Amino acid sequence: MLANFEELQKLGKNNMDLAMKSFGAMSKGWQAIAAEMAEYSKKNFERGTAAMETLMVAKSLEKALEVQGDYVKSSYEGFVVEATKIGELCTDLAKETCRPFENAVGKTAAKI
């Protein structure tokens, strides 16, 4: 009976350690995503402000349309690049969050 209790206690400790490692990885992943989004927002705001300033001093309608077209094109390209980065960070987050449990599942499956 005592051996079973000790095994149960050890299992509980191991599961808590795995959960804490997973939580730590999740926390780091979300921090990286938040930092990337903040940086993108800052850059996007600066680009928008610069485009608006250039648009306000445009001497002709053609120049204004050119500035606006360039801004839209660069914004779209920037968004695609950023979406790719965020997608990669989310994939890394999922992998790192599940990694602590991979060994535990493998060990359990080997026992069965």
Continuous H helices in 2-60: 2-56
Q: Please report, for the chain, the start and end positions of each structural domain, with discontinuous segments joined by +.
A: 2-111
pLDDT above 60 for 1: no
Condensed to tens digits (0 to 9), the pLDDT of residues 31-70 reads: 999 999 999 999 999 999 999 999 999 999 999 999 999 9
Q: Give the Å distances, CA to CA, from 10 to 7, 17, 100, 111.
A: 5, 11, 16, 16
Question: What's the mean pLDDT in 68-93?
Answer: 96
How high does pLDDT run on average in the chain? Answer: 89
Q: Determine if the pTM surpasses 0.75.
A: yes
What is the sign of the dihedral through the CA atoms of 82, 87, 88 and 90? positive
Question: What's the mean pLDDT in 13-23?
Answer: 89
pLDDT above 80 for 108: no
